[in-house]
Amino acid sequence: MPVNEDYFRILRGRFAGPRFNAMFLFVTSRCNSLCRTCFYFDKLNSRDDMSFDQIRRISETAPPFAKLWLSGGEPFLRPELGRIVPMFAENNGVRNVNLPTNGLLPDKIFAAVDEMLAGTPETVSIDLNFSLDGLANTHDAIRGVPNNFVRTIETMRLAAERYRGVKRLRRNVATVITRENHQEVVELGLRLAENANLSGHYFEPMRGQGPDPALKTLTRERLAELHARLMPLHRHYARKLFDYLPRPARAIAMAYYLGNLRLYFDIHERCLEAPEKWPMRCTAGDTTIVVDHDGKFRSCELREPVGSLRDHDYDVRAALASTAMRTEVRNISHANCWCTHSCFIHESSKAFPRVQLFAIPYAWWRDRSKRSLELSTEETERFRALEIA
Ligand code: SF4
Ligand code: SF4
């Protein structure tokens, strides 16, 4: 594995200043779930997905960028998904692909992932995120599909078998924290860490406007307590992520990774109930573009579309340079829309060396200094067992 080359590339990226680095592409509006958390629910199953040729044109006209975030709908309902990823790797130099799945369609998932792995070089990593929003009853009630939890767990088991040893495919779980599941997310995290052999488990407070806004009701204090209780879980996954590194390098990599997470959590807590300024400006629209399933484009997933690629012949450079997008970027600076969206916090933080050099190490140090938490004795024992395992 080209470890040194990879780390130097990442470091160079962190100190290069704001530049276009990520595309969020909604590959389809089709979905077979009914999530009460879904901020895209009013656009689902609308039968106006872009054609494959239009997506190809997007890839051919976009500047080089490192990170492709795929979304939908359920991305695996897009028949050409397995071809779309290699196309962006080849045309745009994409190095990491990150996509969610509800885990309900194992045959489609495996067919597309096989195609992605076969069609991309070893240097391209794929983060496949299974959505689990609670233990069985809670998950099924939030996502509106009977037996969803059991079916997703089975898909995860099959994926673990099928892709054992494929290190560039990271099998993660993503959990949306809501009013209905916050009491059980630590238990969910522990059970999965003990049994599912995952690469990572990520937690986000519900964002945007879903069909059931009451699910968003959560206090900042409760979220802070949850974050503190979940940090041992993140340390567990950080150890797994960097276990191939020699000891001193592993310690530095873990500290940086955990410092990043802690910074995101601090922002989540501060912006949960009302917008509060981030430690850096939001670079949405400069370092990122969001392309909806029908070709509309936006600066970020939580703001309204500013135009349609249709009007720019699907030319991404033209859309990024358009008056509408430039005005949008200027508007963001005084829109006071500070949110909890980790993907955009991540993309923005990478653009500012002072965040990399000071805010992230400081977040890590603060986390270390408050390590005794409100864990039950049983939870403490289970986290200890994970550390030894
Ligand atoms: S959150 Fe995802 S899986 Fe759920 S309804 Fe929305 S698009 Fe479908
Ligand atoms: S702060 Fe949040 S809502 Fe505002 S532009 Fe950035 S990502 Fe979008």
CA-nearest of 21, 34, 29, 85 to 56 is 85
User: In the structure, how many helices (H) and strands (E) does the chain have?
Assistant: 15, 9
Is 286 strand, coil or helix? coil
Domain ranges, ordered by start, for the chain? 20-388
Flag whether pLDDT at 20 surpasses 70.
yes
Q: What pLDDT was estimated at residue 124?
A: 98
Which ligand has the shortest distance to the CA of 341?
Answer: 2
295: left (phi over 0), alpha (psi -120 to 50) or beta: left
Which ligand has the shortest distance to the CA of 337?
Answer: 2
CB 69 within 8 A of CB 27: no
How many whole angstroms from 22 Cα to the centroid of ligand 2? 15
β-sheet bridge partners, residue 174: 131, 202
Could you report the per-residue pLDDT of 295-346, keeping only the tens digit for each? 999 999 999 999 999 999 999 999 999 999 999 999 999 999 999 999 999 9
Whether ligand 1 lies within 6 angstroms of the CB of 31 is answered as: yes
CA-nearest of 257, 187, 255, 267 to 224 is 267
Using the 8-state DSSP alphabet, how is residue 359 labeled? I
Which ligand has the shortest distance to the CA of 26?
Answer: 1
Region 38-62: mean pLDDT is 98
Could you report the per-residue pLDDT of 217-260, keeping only the tens digit for each? 999 999 999 999 999 999 999 999 999 999 999 999 999 999 99
How many whole angstroms from 300 Cα to the centroid of ligand 2? 6
pLDDT mean across residues, the chain: 94
Tell me the torsion sign for CA atoms 178, 195, 230, 362.
negative
Mutate-to-test residue for ligand 2 from 264, 303, 333, 336, highest number of ligand atoms within 8 A of CB: 303
Mutate-to-test residue for ligand 2 from 39, 288, 302, highest number of ligand atoms within 8 A of CB: 302
Could you report the per-residue pLDDT of 274-288, keeping only the tens digit for each? 999 999 999 999 999
Please enumerate in sequence order all residues whose Cβ is within 8 A of that of 120, keeping only pairs 6 or more positions apart, or say none: 85, 86, 89, 126
Q: What pLDDT was estimated at residue 375?
A: 80
- Which amino acids bring their CB within 6 angstroms of ligand 2? 282, 284, 299-300, 302-303, 332, 337-339, 341, 344
Whether ligand 1 lies within 6 angstroms of the CB of 73 is answered as: yes
Which ligand has the shortest distance to the CA of 344?
Answer: 2
Mutate-to-test residue for ligand 2 from 268, 282, 286, highest number of ligand atoms within 8 A of CB: 282
Region 169-182: mean pLDDT is 98
For residue 185, give both structure tokens. Answer: 């997310």
DSSP-assigned states of every residue in 328-350? HHHHHTTT------HHHHHHHHT
For residue 172, give both structure tokens. Answer: 């993660």
Q: What pLDDT was estimated at residue 1?
A: 42
Q: What pLDDT was estimated at residue 149?
A: 98
β-sheet bridge partners, residue 291: 25, 297
Sheet holding 296-298, edge to edge: 200-205, 169-177, 125-131, 96-101, 67-71, 22-26, 288-291, 296-298, 307-308
Flag whether pLDDT at 189 surpasses 90.
yes
Q: What pLDDT was estimated at residue 328?
A: 98
CA-nearest of 75, 157, 73, 143 to 109 is 75
Residue ranges with strand state E in 158-265: 169-177, 200-205
How many whole angstroms from 135 Cα to the centroid of ligand 1? 18
Flag whether pLDDT at 2 surpasses 50.
no
- Rounded Cα distance between 186 and 331, Å, is 39
Q: Which fold has domain 20-388?
A: TIM Barrel (3.20.20)
Could you report the per-residue pLDDT of 144-170, keeping only the tens digit for each? 999 999 999 999 999 999 999 999 999
- Rounded Cα distance between 255 and 361, Å, is 8
Tell me the torsion sign for CA atoms 54, 56, 57, 58.
positive
Is 103 strand, coil or helix? coil
Flag whether pLDDT at 36 surpasses 70.
yes
